[in-house]
Chains A and B, each alone.
Chain A
């Protein structure tokens, strides 16, 4: 499949280029521009990025493959990254994952037929204090998960609403404030 940047994307890329001393350094940012536009950076998109920046295709491929946040294939509209690393695992991360698998009718690593959800099992996202948790499409963290909370999230996302932002307290600060 061939992809093309819009005029608006190209303007954005030009202004990104101005921020860096050399083009090579803009690879990460421009991959984001591409992922915002196309929803993923598969081989063809990587090629487009390389051609746009006049960088070697291999270099762009290397960068894209390094970061899991770049999707190297077409994904669902919402990507649910469920943490099953140590803390989440102990607090029931796998239960959440299994629940989602059952609910969506797919396995981790797959995408629902309607293209709505992709489910991934990931390692630590740095939110051990609020385990178990998941992340929605490289964005919002949803914490202290329960099956009900997950169902609620799915409904919200299906309705086109954004997951609500949860303000998490730092445990230490709480202690200090209410001694």
Chain B
């Protein structure tokens, strides 16, 4: 059977099945402007922006052959009106003309934009969406130079607090209904509707109801204009001043793919990044709040407890203290605690340090809150890497067992996990031991520390996490520490301000670089001091080591992870590895 064919702007393409015309065109890397269409939702074709000219070849009824004109070309019967490409299904032999080859289409797209803009406030200079606004971009590319509407614009409600996290400016809305369809089709909260009619339309909740959908901020991402904005991020930064770094959501076990948006080494917002098998285009609102975790309340510079008060200590002192403690304490009395909140690489480094010093395998307690998952993008598991800890071979213990182990230990080396804050331990369990705590943020647990050593967060290092579905995915460093350098690090990207900013610019300071190191760095130095054979350079090299040592991670490397959007690890192989 021959492939079906379609002709777009005079070029022949082959297709299978029944693709939608707009998606087909976009998949080819070509463009037709559109607003209301979204690949993960139904296509109501209400913005009318994606108009194209469509025709089908005429066939002779009897022979089934294409009718040809005098020059031997197929006779095309054009549809009587322009069609919206988003909901047009391609048929064999269809001929399509877009704005690239047809003046009528150009004219239609231009006039549609003139209508869409008739009541739009055109307040781009103060609008958060400017710079990443489909309406702005498409008006620039396909729109009219001016408007023939000289009458007063229709006024609608402004800065409406739709819910705890989303603010609406109804005047900017073009009534594409993407936000409404999102709550109907994706999050299924059905909280939004379009009210009124004609030029008074806008989306809102039922009277007295709050738009508190746990996924509400996705509507801000898909709103093709600045009508829906994030209450939290509003007016914080212009898009073009920020740098965008791919990362993984570490606030639960699902491992949504995300982007971290930074300016001056502060994470200012978090948005979802498309991954067809993990999170599609979406992420839960909770994950977006992690930016605070990266910026605020950070442990910066080591500290040691002197007479029940933590005082600042030098890095050398911290190293020496840890080494001395490890040397002095009987192996049996040393407890290494791994963390489902830390990456695979960090837990591996901890395991190595434990093994080489002759201590027992590190333990960890998962952080699960039954009932907090929703079967969508929120999991019961509150930690990003419990599965990683298991696959590495850390010993999984219940809170009870953890309490016993902690009470019996004399020296505890604990990796980034707020065991005291999340109810696993309380002060009574902690009395006997000397606590060495590696942590990124100040918590109840860091207060217990006799030696507190600051380490990097997922926003500052490249490291991997294994999600609840056993998919290993990795982060990229987005934010510099005192010891990392954007220009020298092969893993880091540079935004415009990162590259060209100087201390004379707004938003360029040294203030937000935390005095911390990746855990494996410190582990390696401790290893050197103790005369151990431990060489951990960075996440990439550590993952290569893990892949050769642990069959569960066979074939995993940063290269393969980057190429394949993460790798699903087979759970069974864990049992076989020791």
Contact = CB atoms under 8 A, between A and B. Distances in A.
Contacts, number: 37
B207 interface: yes
Nearest to A68: B197
Contacts of A62: 193-195
Given A62-B195, A65-B196, A66-B197, A43 B208 contact: yes
Contacts of A57: 206, 209
A58 B191 contact: yes
Interface string A127-170: 00000000000000000000000000000000000000000000
Nearest to A47: B206
A40 to B, nearest CB: 13
Contacts of A59: 190, 193
A60 interface: yes
Interface string A26-63: 00000000000000000100110010000011111110
B205 A58 contact: yes
A7 B261 CA distance: 58
A58 B208 contact: no
B192 interface: yes
Nearest to B191: A58
Is the interface on chain A under 10, 10 to 19, 20 to 34, or 35 or more residues? 10 to 19
B195 A50 contact: no
Interface in B172-220: 183, 190-197, 204-209
A65 B195 contact: yes
Given A56-B190, A58-B190, A59-B190, A46 B207 contact: yes
Interface string B531-570: 0000000000000000000000000000000000000000
A65 B203 CA distance: 11
A66 B206 contact: no
B541 to A, nearest CB: 53
Contacts of B206: 43, 46-47, 50, 56-58, 60-61
Contacts of A58: 183, 190-193, 205-206, 209
B548 to A, nearest CB: 54
Nearest to A65: B195
Nearest to B192: A58
Contacts of B197: 66
A64 B194 CA distance: 11
Contacts of B195: 61-62, 65-66
A130 B192 CA distance: 41
Contacts of B207: 43, 46, 61
Interface in A54-91: 56-62, 65-66
The 5 closest A-B pairs by CB, nearest first: A62-B193, A56-B190, A57-B206, A43-B207, A58-B193
Interface of A: 43, 46-47, 50, 56-62, 65-66
8 contacts: A43-B208, A47-B206, A50-B206, A56-B193, A56-B206, A57-B209, A58-B205, A66-B196
